[in-house]
A and B are shown apart, each in its own frame.
Chain A
Amino acid sequence: MSKLSGKKFYVASILGLLLIAPLLLTGCGGSVFAASSWPGPTIEGSTLYVAYGPAVYAIDVESGNELWRFPAEPDRMLSFYAPPAVTEGGLVIVGGYDNGVYALDADTGAPSWASAFQDAKDRIIGSPLVVGNWVLVPSADGRLYALDVDSGEPVWEKPFQASEVPGPLWSSPIVDEQTIYLASLDHHVYAIDLSTGDEIWRTVDLGGAISDSPTLSDGLILVGTFGESLVAIDTLDGSVQWTYETAGWVWSSPVVFDGVAYFGDTTGIAYAVEAENGNELWQKTIDGSIGASPAVDENGVYFVTETGVVHAADPSSGGAVWPNDANLEAKLLSDPILYNGQLFLGAIVQDCVVYAVDIDSGRSGCFFSPAEQ
């Protein structure tokens, strides 16, 4: 105190605090430096496409070699997280956080449309869906866009918001014959005429936001909600058929296999319920929040968690299939993809974008890490 009087100390302290405040705000806010979402992987043929951060990558699924990336050089305006959709004609359709939709040549990654579709007013977080000659694009601006797949020109666009609750569309729609089923963060599911975009019906408020796509199962649509439930809806009129209460938010879509719906919640509980009536078959706690749909085959239900755990459960009993869970020390929030006896997992971690796990042994390793440009 003898060298720095009380008043000067006061001034210096406040100036110091104010000068570091912007750094603390950005650094502690977690919004500037952290990833906004997780990798979006898709496998088509023998190519794995992954949208993650500054690029969309095409990777040979056998060797793990990068075939191309878009854009070739990083562009700070572009970032991608939604799993790309691949057309029969060899286009990779991907939506970006710049609100744009891009069509890329599946062999080279070169842009195919004359220009990207830029009409959306907010980010493309959900994956586009290719239906015949159209591509359906959900946007966080609350609108669903139908585009011509060859040109990217809009065919129709419709807003979907049932109430004062904001209605960003974060998930891919699904299509059954001529009807689109679309889930919204505004707590509703919509049935929409594919040819016109007109609403056929909407559900009542389901008690919480719906962040992932609906799942079709024998005349029912199953959706997980932030209202801590899995809800079954009649495809004919949108009426609620049954509700299964959970312990936490159901972030991701259930996967139906042999009449059983498998899903997890944000408290880390995995569930198996009968899709027809919602009767519980089993539930078990796994280490870490479950934000992804499981992958399922006749031998196992493969759950991944935010703490990096990969757990294989017996489909009928829920018992562990592997002696020990795989632990990847990465945030696993992307839906795992089963391909040729391996699980491909998009990961949020410093040095690996896609992990591969052998489903027989549970052994794991980094499959793809993008080379620096």
Chain B
Amino acid sequence: MWNSLILKPMINALLLIYKLLGTGPNTFGWAIIIFTVLVRLITLPFTYQSMKSSMIMQELQGSKKWKKLQEKYKDDRQKLAEEQMKLYQEKGYNPFSGCLPTLLNLPIILGLYQAIIRTMAATPVQLLDLSKLIYPFTPTSLIPLNSTFFYMNLGQPERLVLPFLNGISFLQGGIPLLAIVVAVTSYFQSKLTTPTTSSDQQGSGMMQMMTIYMPLIMGYLAFTFSSGLAIYLVVSNILGIIQGVVIRRLRENAAAG
């Protein structure tokens, strides 16, 4: 099921894009970037829905009605939750819709990590497994792939080695540049997509915690796993930020108009 629905389509899409781009050095890195753009386009309706929900939530939390409810039911949390739920329904807000992009993103990250590792196939077991994951119409002459992307080996974690930093012991292995970029872009994306205003102290604290933890975890993934995955995360985050800014502008313009 996982192989049929996620892994095989991803591996074959990557291979076919790699083929279209010409199969030389750097090509697999560009294939990952194009694949990421396609994934972002396919998931755009869900992203839009999530952003919309997030903005409705922010508007709700800033409204007088919300504050009145908080004041009125400050000693009855169950009743407060019920009334808040009614308000959500009234405004067309679905509390679960914010989860959807992350829920969608997780299998994509898992699938892409596996697809990259398996298409790179650095060991006999991986290469033999790959033979079972390639569609009949995908040319096997593409194997093995060229895994270099500028200074990176896409199957290995990324480190930028700078000769003048050789004297610094903890940087001798190189700087994890992509991991840092992933963490920074994840932070900006989180800021754009998670509701910020809240009169609920506990909820607000959790939100702030998440905008810190999520970039750190994403950065850790990019630091630890293959640089191909880090490239996906960087491109995905940048596109997410652009989408976020555009959707926000469109909604603000619509509200003003």
Residue numbers of A with Cβ under 8 A of B are 1-3, 5-15, 17-19, 21-22, 24-25, 28-31, 34-38, 81, 123, 125, 140, 164-166, 168, 170, 185, 187, 205, 207-209, 211, 226-228, 248-249, 251, 266, 289, 291, 306, 333
Contact = CB atoms under 8 A, between A and B. Distances in A.
B110 interface: yes
Contacts of A291: 128
Given A10-B95, A22-B224, A187-B141, A29 B147 contact: no
Given A2-B82, A14-B99, A21-B106, A333 B214 contact: no
Contacts of A185: 143-144
28 contacts: A3-B81, A7-B57, A7-B198, A7-B206, A8-B202, A8-B203, A10-B99, A11-B206, A11-B210, A12-B206, A17-B106, A18-B214, A21-B221, A25-B109, A25-B110, A25-B221, A30-B117, A31-B126, A37-B124, A81-B124, A125-B123, A166-B145, A209-B144, A227-B141, A248-B131, A249-B140, A266-B128, A266-B131
B24 A208 contact: no
B195 A7 contact: yes
B6 to A, nearest CB: 10
B147 A15 contact: no
Interface string B194-230: 0100101011001101100110011011001100000
B125 A29 contact: no
A36 B121 CA distance: 10
A5 B140 contact: no
B46 interface: no
B96 interface: yes
B242 interface: no
A14 B224 contact: no
Given A11-B206, A266-B131, 6 more contacts: A6-B96, A9-B96, A30-B129, A31-B126, A185-B143, A266-B132
Top 4 nearest A-B pairs (CB, nearest first) are: A6-B95, A36-B123, A37-B124, A11-B206
B78 interface: yes
B123 A164 contact: no
Interface string B63-106: 00000000000000010011011001000000110110011001
Contacts of A14: 99, 102, 210, 214
Contact of B95 (A5, A81, A208): A5
Contacts of A170: 124
B117 A208 contact: no
B149 to A, nearest CB: 13
Contacts of B114: 28-30
A184 to B, nearest CB: 10
A266 B127 CA distance: 11
A24 B128 contact: no
A36 B217 CA distance: 28
Given A10-B98, A11-B207, A25-B221, A208 B140 contact: yes
Interface of B: 2, 23-25, 57, 78, 81-82, 84-85, 88, 95-96, 98-99, 102-103, 106, 109-110, 113-114, 117, 122-129, 131-132, 140-141, 143-147, 195, 198, 200, 202-203, 206-207, 209-210, 213-214, 217-218, 220-221, 224-225
A205 to B, nearest CB: 8
B57 A207 contact: no
Contact of B85 (A1, A187, A289): A1
Contacts of A125: 123-124
A25 B103 CA distance: 15
B152 to A, nearest CB: 14
Given A29-B117, A166-B146, A209-B143, A5 B81 contact: yes
Contacts of B117: 29-31
B254 to A, nearest CB: 24
A21 B217 contact: yes
B131 A211 contact: no
Contact of B124 (A3, A11, A38, A207): A38
B98 A36 contact: no
A164 to B, nearest CB: 5
Contacts of A7: 57, 95, 195, 198, 200, 203, 206-207
A370 B199 CA distance: 63
A80 to B, nearest CB: 13
A2 B143 CA distance: 54
Contacts of A8: 202-203, 206
Nearest to A170: B124
Contacts of B210: 11, 14-15
A25 B102 contact: no
Given A5-B203, A10-B98, A226 B81 contact: no
Contacts of B141: 187, 205, 207-208, 226-227
Contacts of B202: 8
